[in-house]
Structure 1
Amino acid sequence: MSDGFTEMLDRAQAFYGALARNNSRDWFEPRKAGWKADIEAPARLLAEIMADEISRITGEAHASKVFRINRDVRFSKDKSPYKTMLAMLWAPGDRDDLAPSFYFGIQPETTFVGCGMSGFEKTALTRYRAMVDRWGDRLTEVMEQTGGTLADIGPEPLKRVPKPYDPDHPHAALLKRKDLALGLPLAEGWRDTGDGLVAALSDRIEALLPFQRFLVERL
């Protein structure tokens, strides 16, 4: 039986598609109450339910967050005031910035379920690079097994392989990164099962679980 969140996803995709074409306060403000009631409120409920589900799947407590719709435009050339994606995150209780989190993003035409870290601070970046240098072969195997693709959700990669690593390092592309996350869309045909969005999200979380466990163990 559907859990009712599929309808929220459909409303969100339609709303954010329209917002992308009309990204202004004049357009958003008259529709804000409807967005809060029909999209934000059920999204927060979904995030809370999935926090319990992810905690069960991983065996580690996770807390949920639904990202605000307003953009921070202070340091951006793009001054459009609103985000055109509904995004939520589930972070473990470990506040180490090398602890991977799970993500879910709803865009007008696509969905994105991810796992990883959106950016490394200096000390964490050193640890990440050491892990890639030592365990890069196994890391790439795990990434391929998930069927996911690298997600560009953090800082731009470096142009060159950082010192002291060989410029011809077999995992040069990973060494250049300042973030690491894998993403998957919801499984094709998930709507046809009739099980609902919670089940579809849980399926993707389980697909990403070997990647998450590898990072927890090696970082």
Structure 2
Amino acid sequence: MTDSFAALIPDARCFLNDLSQTNTRAWFTTHKARYDGTLKRPAILLLDHLSAQLARKTALPIRTKLFRPHRDVRFSKDKTPYTTHLHMLWQVGSAGLFFGIAPEYVRLGGGVMAMDKDQLTRWRDAMANDRKGAGFRQLCAPLADQGFSVDHPELKRVPAPFPKDHPRENLLRRKSMTFWRDMPAQEWPLPSAALDRGFDQLLPMVERLNLLL
């Protein structure tokens, strides 16, 4: 079985590793044709390909985004001009599915990266509700068996007015809700198939987040 995106991961990792060695505008300008041909164009095609796949599986609106390589250095001490990763987003309603390639990782995920004020209020109300909160926890439980992990909650304490010993205190302490899985090297030659399978596993959680938020 072949995959028309088979070269994307090794080509991207090679380019990004070279970029990390000489992260300057002069270097990137000299190698821009290589970036466009081996990273940007295949990534856009992958975004479109999987967007069409997702459209057949969910009624939620789908938007895609390839994150720009330029860093915003205005308020950063680190003035290197380019990111050393290639990040893609499939926005599914108010949540998203993610894919990232870097010299040190190849990773897919899904969820909500940062809830706004109104989303955070609805999230906490839902997690405090026995039916909604327990239902979301139960829905997400299989993701651990499928190799996905979730970051630690951002807050150290349960926010008011919820009790400190709430049975879902770990969910109430969250300001984001995302699950991640590293893509092992044996999946790299078939990235679109691996992402399609991973997104199928994440989609029920993403759809539930849309209902809750």
TM-score bucket of the superposed structures, by smaller chain: 0.7 to 0.9
Q: Percent identity?
A: 34
2:115 to 120, 132, 141: 120
Aligned residue runs from structure 1 range 187-198, under 5 A: 189-191=186-188, 196-198=190-192
Residue matched to 2:180: 183
Task: Indicate yes or no: 2:47 matched with 1:81.
Answer: no
What is the TM-score when the length of structure 1 is the normalising length? 0.85
2:162 to 153, 161, 165: 165
Q: In structure 2, what is the Cα distance between the partners aligned to 1:125 and 1:34?
A: 42
Q: In structure 2, what is the Cα distance between the partners aligned to 1:78 and 1:169?
A: 41
Is the Cα–Cα contact under 8 Å of residues 123 and 212 in structure 2 kept in the other structure? no
Residue matched to 1:70: 70
Structure 2: 5+ residue runs without aligned partners?
Answer: none
What is the TM-score when the length of structure 2 is the normalising length? 0.87
1:145 to 136, 142, 147: 142
Aligned partner of 2:143: which letter? T
Task: Indicate yes or no: 2:198 matched with 1:204.
Answer: yes
Aligned residue runs from structure 1 range 82-97, under 5 A: 82-92=82-92, 94=93
Equivalent residues, number: 208
Q: Deviation at 1:185?
A: 2.5
Aligned partner of 1:24: which letter? T
Q: Deviation at 1:187?
A: 5.8
Is the Cα–Cα contact under 8 Å of residues 117 and 180 in structure 1 kept in the other structure? yes
Q: Deviation at 1:206?
A: 0.8
Q: In structure 1, what is the Cα distance between the partners aligned to 2:127 and 2:185?
A: 32
Is the Cα–Cα contact under 8 Å of residues 143 and 182 in structure 1 kept in the other structure? no
Residue matched to 1:52: 52
CA-based RMSD? 2.2
Q: Deviation at 1:201?
A: 0.9
Q: In structure 1, what is the Cα distance between the partners aligned to 2:185 and 2:197?
A: 12
Residue matched to 1:32: 32
Structure 1: 5+ residue runs without aligned partners?
Answer: none
Q: In structure 1, what is the Cα distance between the partners aligned to 2:86 and 2:8?
A: 11
Q: In structure 2, what is the Cα distance between the partners aligned to 1:206 and 1:187?
A: 18
Q: In structure 2, what is the Cα distance between the partners aligned to 1:144 and 1:202?
A: 20
